């Protein structure tokens, strides 16, 4: 098996990975693992994608309806460690873990937490402090 080519030119790396130059402020992880998906976590992820796109802040390719200069990255993941009380959502760099998130909660998380810096306490299971 051939060894992968290492790209040494930082400008070329940035061109291949445009997220490196985007004004990213938050990374939202939505668990869609087995237990969370049994609690409709796919609908929670879809609600985040719809609402973030509607606000023009979801980072991604323009051809996919996203913003190459968006400030939020949305990632689907397999588990964040407490799927029994999912759907689970983590927001970084703030280190906030939300539990039992419903699609109807997504707009509040975006408005309060992502845009105004206020944790939605009724959903926050824990916050990791640096």
The 10s digit of each residue's pLDDT in 10-68 is: 888 888 888 888 899 999 999 998 888 888 899 999 999 999 999 999 999 898 889 99
Structural domains of the chain ordered from first start: 22-127 (3.40.30.10)
Contact 47, 106 (CB under 8 A): yes
Over residues 83-108, mean pLDDT: 92
What confidence category does residue 130 fall into, taking pLDDT thresholds of 50, 70 and 90? low
pLDDT of residue 99: 93
Over residues 118-129, mean pLDDT: 89
For residues 99 and 130, the model is more confident at 99
pLDDT of residue 4: 81
pLDDT of residue 29: 95
Burial (Cβ within 10 Å: 0-12, 13-18, ≥19) of residue 77: middle
Average pLDDT taken over every residue of the chain: 91
pLDDT of residue 27: 96
Angle formed at CA 100 by CA 95 and CA 102, multiple of 5 degrees: 105
């Amino acid at each position: 098996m051939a060894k992968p080519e290492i790209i040494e030119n930082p400008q070329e790396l940035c061109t291949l990975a445009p997220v490196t130059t985007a004004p990213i402020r938050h990374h939202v992880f939505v668990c869609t693992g087995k237990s969370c998906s049994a609690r409709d976590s796919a609908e929670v992820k879809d609600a985040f994608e719809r609402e973030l796109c509607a606000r023009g802040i979801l980072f991604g390719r323009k051809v996919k309806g996203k913003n190459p200069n968006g400030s939020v990255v949305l990632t689907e993941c397999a588990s964040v460690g407490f799927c029994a009380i999912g759907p689970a959502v983590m927001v970084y760099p703030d280190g906030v873990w939300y539990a039992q998130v419903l699609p109807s909660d997504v707009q509040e998380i975006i408005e309060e937490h992502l845009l105004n810096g206020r944790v939605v306490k009724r959903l926050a299971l824990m916050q990791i402090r640096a």
